[in-house]
Amino acid sequence: MAHFTKATSIKDWLNQRLAIEKVEKVMASEYWIPKNINFLWAMGMVLVITFALLLVSGIFLLMYYQPNIDLAFDSVNYTIMREVDFGWLWRHVHGVAASVVFLIIYIHMFTAIYYGSYKKGREMIWISGMLLFVAFSAEAFSGYMLPWGQMSYWAGMVITNLFSGGSLHADGLVEWIRGDYVPAQAFLNRFFMLHVLLVPLAIIGLIGLHFGALRIPHVNNQDGEEIDFDEESKKYLAGDKAGSKVIRFANDFMSKDMLVVAIYLVFFFYLVFFHYDFAMDPVNFDPADGLKTPEHIYPEWYFLWSYEILRPFSTDIGLIAFAFAQVIFMALPFLDRSPNTIPASRRGLFKYWFWAMLIDMIALTAMGKVPPVEPFGTIGLYAALIFIGLWVVLPFITKLEKKA
């Protein structure tokens, strides 16, 4: 048993039992952040705030939502939207946040790719980030099933069909996942459970892992400079705040983060009040009907690029290309063979690789939205081939890079 003395304050009482001063130092007042970073480094905090908005609005929606195929559609479109006071507001906050979170995730990912923040000791940050991306994708997909509209039903049908594995004909697997021959009550129950319990729990655990992975290597900076955090923090603590290359996470850096978060929230609530419809597909305002297939079935905008990698090929090749697209970003730290952690603009061929990948993914997204008629089918096919080609050449072009 440790030695306890009579506490002089509540803080002292807690400190003796929970070492709160030490925790505060490790997580905030002596968690050192480089000065040389820009607003893009606030995207992590913007993601934390957006996730909090999703959790809170989700809890309010859960009070009235009915996970029953006969009641779900009305519980959302009638009870929540019309009968419950401010139900519409919670639904719009939830819908807009679910869409915007992907925009911010993509900005956060491409910032990390541009500055090489996945390299040399930061691999676990990247891997935990990619696991978060997968978990958010599962969360968005399972949530999309819940209103039990036409798109919920048919997107559920198409995506679960992927598990039949093309000519492997693993149809039993598809039925096992659905709990029925077609999406029905068992399907809705299990996606409801995933959406409100299992996946959010996984996300919370993964955010913990992501933050833990950041603590030892610290965040990168705009020049990829290897900062001696011990040396620089000593300078700061000795009073040379101007000469030191680092500042405290709290309250110094947090105050900058909060400015970006405040600007973001103005944009966010502008969307919630005036343009919430961009996050909702009109087809999903028709109740699910297993006898009426919608003319075009397409996923939400954030899945379109990977959907377009599946679509232009025959079933088997399409499935392999799709699976490749889902996992390949995870391998980025190991496929980039360059010794340099510097911005893409100062790297050899990687500079072109970065922009080619970004533009290609935007092209895939645009092609995923239009029906597969010419010339869009051909453009989509080339964009998918370029995506795969870019990953194949990555190890070779980065190996050629000289040490900067």
Residues 124-153 binding ligand HEM (CB under 6 A) are: 125-126, 129-130, 132-133, 136
Nearer to ligand HEM, 219 or 271 (CB): 219
Which range of residues in 84-92, 108-116, 301-309, 373-381 is near ligand HEM by CB under 6 A?
Answer: 108-116
Between CA 142 and CA 177 the distance in angstroms is: 13
Between CA 94 and CA 103 the distance in angstroms is: 15
For tokens 């541009």, the residue is: 114
* 371-394 burial code (b ≥16 CB/10 A, e <16): eeeeebeebbbebbebbeebbeeb
DSSP string of 106-154, one letter each residue: HHHHHHHHHHTTTSTT-HHHHHHHHHHHHHHHHHHHHHHHTT-BHHHHH
Among 20, 45, 107, 202, indicate the residue that binds ligand HEM (CB under 6 A): 45
Nearest CA-CA partner of 267 in 37, 81, 50, 56: 50
Among 43, 146, 155, 319, indicate the residue that binds ligand HEM (CB under 6 A): 43
Among 84, 98, 219, 246, indicate the residue that binds ligand HEM (CB under 6 A): 219
Between CA 159 and CA 161 the distance in angstroms is: 5
Which range of residues in 43-51, 148-156, 174-182, 191-199 is near ligand HEM by CB under 6 A?
Answer: 43-51
CB of 173 vs ligand HEM, minimal distance in Å: 28
Query: What backbone torsions phi and psi does residue 32 show, to the nearest 5 degrees?
Result: -90, 135
CB of 96 vs ligand HEM, minimal distance in Å: 16
Among 140, 159, 174, 214, indicate the residue that binds ligand HEM (CB under 6 A): 214
Nearer to ligand HEM, 106 or 382 (CB): 106
Chain centre to alpha carbon of residue 205: 14
Residue 116 binding ligand HEM, by CB under 6 A: no
Residue 48 binding ligand HEM, by CB under 6 A: yes
Between CA 32 and CA 216 the distance in angstroms is: 10
Between CA 297 and CA 161 the distance in angstroms is: 13
Residue 41 binding ligand HEM, by CB under 6 A: yes
Residue 272 binding ligand HEM, by CB under 6 A: no
Nearer to ligand HEM, 47 or 357 (CB): 47
Coil vs helix vs strand at 287: strand
Residue 207 binding ligand HEM, by CB under 6 A: yes
- Whole-number Cα distances in Å, 403 to 31, 63, 115, 332: 30, 57, 16, 19
Which range of residues in 111-119, 194-202, 290-298, 315-323 is near ligand HEM by CB under 6 A?
Answer: 111-119
Residues 281-340 binding ligand HEM (CB under 6 A) are: none
Nearer to ligand HEM, 288 or 342 (CB): 342
In sequence order, the β-bridge partners of residue 32 are 248
Q: Which chain residues interact with ligand HEM by CB under 6 A?
A: 41, 43-45, 47-48, 51, 105, 108-109, 112, 117-118, 122, 125-126, 129-130, 132-133, 136, 207, 210, 214, 219-220
